[in-house]
Amino acid sequence: MDVYEDDLMNPKLVIIPLAIMLVLTLLSAPTYSAMAGVTPQISVTDPTGDDKGPGYYGYPSNNVFKPGVFDLTKFEILTNSTDVIFKVYIKDLGDNPWKGPNGFCLQYVQIYVHTTLQGVESRMDTFGLHLMIRSDYAWHFAVLLAPGWGNDPVPKGQKSALIYANGTVVVQDDKFKVYADPKENAIVAVISKNLIPDVDNIKNWKIIVALASYDGFGPMKVRQAGVKGGEWVLNATKYATNKNTIIRIGQAVAKGIEPLALDLLVYSPQYPNGIPASLQYEWLNTFNVTAGTYAIVPGISVTPKTVTETVTQTETTTYTTTSTQTTTKTSTTTITSTSVSVSPSPSPTTITKETTNWTATGAAAIILFIIGLIIGYLVKRK
C-alpha cells in the first residue's frame, strides 16, 4: 500500500491521530510519584528465617504459602514534602495468588507507632494478633495494611486503615495510598503528612511492625493457629521439639491466647538496629496460660530495685562497755508505667507531587498516529 503526499495532507488523516493523541494524554496524566525527592528517616533490617512466631510455628500446608511470604527483612520510613512513606520488605511477596487490589493478598502488616507526644491518648491492644503492647510503647496510631477488597477498612472490611488511639479510622484513599512493589518484595503505604502526628520527630518514635497471615474469613482478618496446623491454618508446633512447649502452646490455643504474629520488627531509641530472633521468640512466649493473658511486646522489663539501708549505732559506757547496734533495712520496689495518647485532627487538604511518564505516552502516541494514517487512508479509498 502506497501513501502519497496528498494523502498526508488529507484532514481525516491528520485529525484522527491528533484526537487519539489528545485522549491518550488526558488519560495518562498526571501519575503520582511517591519516591520523588524523598528523605530517609528510619531503616531497620530484620533477621531472615525468624518467621516462626514464638520460635516453633510453621506455615499452613497449602502451596500458596511459599517459603518466606511471612518473613520480614527490612522496614523503612521516608518523607517528602507532602507524605510519610512506610515500606515493609518481605523475603517473598508470593505472587498475589488471589489478586488483591493492593498488589498482595497473603500478608497482613500491622504497624504500631508510639510518637513523642505527651499527655495524649494511647492504646495497648492489637488487632487480632493476640498480643498486648507494653505501656511505654503504647500506640498513638496504627497502620494496618491489607489486600484492599471492598470499601470498608479492616478489621470490619478488607481495605487498609489508619487508626488513631481515639478510635478515628481513615480508610485508604488518595491521601493514603497502598501498593505492592514486586521488584523489591515490598508493601508500601504513602500517607499524607496531614494525617500523621509528630512527623518532625520520626527518628524518636517507638515502632512495632508485626506480620501475620491475612485471612479474609478469619477473626479480625488474621489467620488462626492449630496444634497440628492444616491447609489454611498455622501449625503451632511445626518446629517444637520440647514436650512441655507442645503442651503449653496447645493449652494456649485452647484458650485462644496463642500469638498470631509470625514475624516481628521493632525500632526505637532502645533498639535502633532492630531486634534479634531470640528476643522475638522470648517476647512472643510471654503469654500466661494460667492467667489466660496474651504475650506482651516488648517483653516486660523490670525496674531495678532501690534499696535504702540505714545503720544507727549507740554506745553506752558504765562499769562494763555495752555496744548496741541497730540496723534498719528498707527495701522499696518502684515500677513506673506511663500511658499517653494522641488525638490528631486530620487536615482535609494536601498537596500531591505528580509526574507524568512522557516517554511511554509519546511512544504510544506515535504508534497510534501511524495507525490513524492507515485508517484515514482506507476511509479515503472508499
Phi and psi angles of residue 75, each rounded to the nearest 5 degrees, phi first: -135, 135
Which segments of the chain does DSSP mark as H helices, in order? 5-8, 11-28, 243-255, 277-284, 358-381
In b/e form, how buried is each residue of 274-312, taking b as 16+ CB within 10 angstroms? bbebebbbbbbbbbebeeeebbbbbeeeeeeeeeeeeee
Q: What are the CB-based long-range contacts (under 8 Å, 24+) for 359-363? A: 360/28, 361/24, 361/25, 361/28, 361/29
Q: Where are the domains of the chain?
A: 5-30+355-381, 33-297
pLDDT in tens, 118-138: 999 999 999 999 999 999 999
- CA dist 375 and 370 (Å) reads 9
pLDDT confidence of residue 308: 42
pLDDT in tens, 80-112: 999 999 999 999 999 999 999 999 999 999 999
pLDDT in tens, 147-157: 999 999 999 99
Higher pLDDT: 324 or 222? It is 222
pLDDT in tens, 163-215: 999 999 999 999 999 999 999 999 999 999 999 999 999 999 999 999 999 99
C-alpha cell at 109: 502488616
Question: Of all residues in the chain, what percent carry a pLDDT higher than 70?
Answer: 69
pLDDT confidence of residue 300: 79
Please, are residues 105 and 97 in contact by the beta-carbon 8 Å criterion?
Answer: yes
56 three-class SS: coil
Average pLDDT, the chain: 81
Please, are residues 303 and 295 in contact by the beta-carbon 8 Å criterion?
Answer: no
Please, are residues 292 and 257 in contact by the beta-carbon 8 Å criterion?
Answer: yes
359-362-368-372 Cα dihedral, nearest 10 degrees: -170
The CA–CA distances, whole Å, from 336 to 212, 286, 300, 305, 340 equal 31, 20, 12, 12, 13
Nearest to 111 by CA among 36, 188, 54: 188
- Residue 291: partners with Cβ closer than 8 Å, 6 or more residues away: none
Q: Name the strand (E) or helix (H) holding 310.
A: strand 306-317
Question: Of all residues in the chain, what percent carry a pLDDT higher than 90?
Answer: 69
Whether pLDDT at 311 is above 50: no
pTM for this model (two decimals):
0.73
- CA dist 365 and 371 (Å) reads 10
pLDDT confidence of residue 124: 98
Whether pLDDT at 349 is above 70: no
Whether pLDDT at 333 is above 70: no
- Average pLDDT in the 247-263 region? 98
Is the link from the previous residue into 298 a cis peptide, with omega within 30 of 0? yes
Strand order in the sheet with 72-79: 39-45, 72-79, 83-90, 186-192, 176-181
| Domain at 33-297, CATH from 3.30.70.520, 3.40.50.720, 2.60.40.1190, 1.10.10.10 | 2.60.40.1190
- CA dist 60 and 97 (Å) reads 15
The CA–CA distances, whole Å, from 92 to 76, 111, 181, 263 equal 17, 19, 11, 14
- CA dist 229 and 71 (Å) reads 18
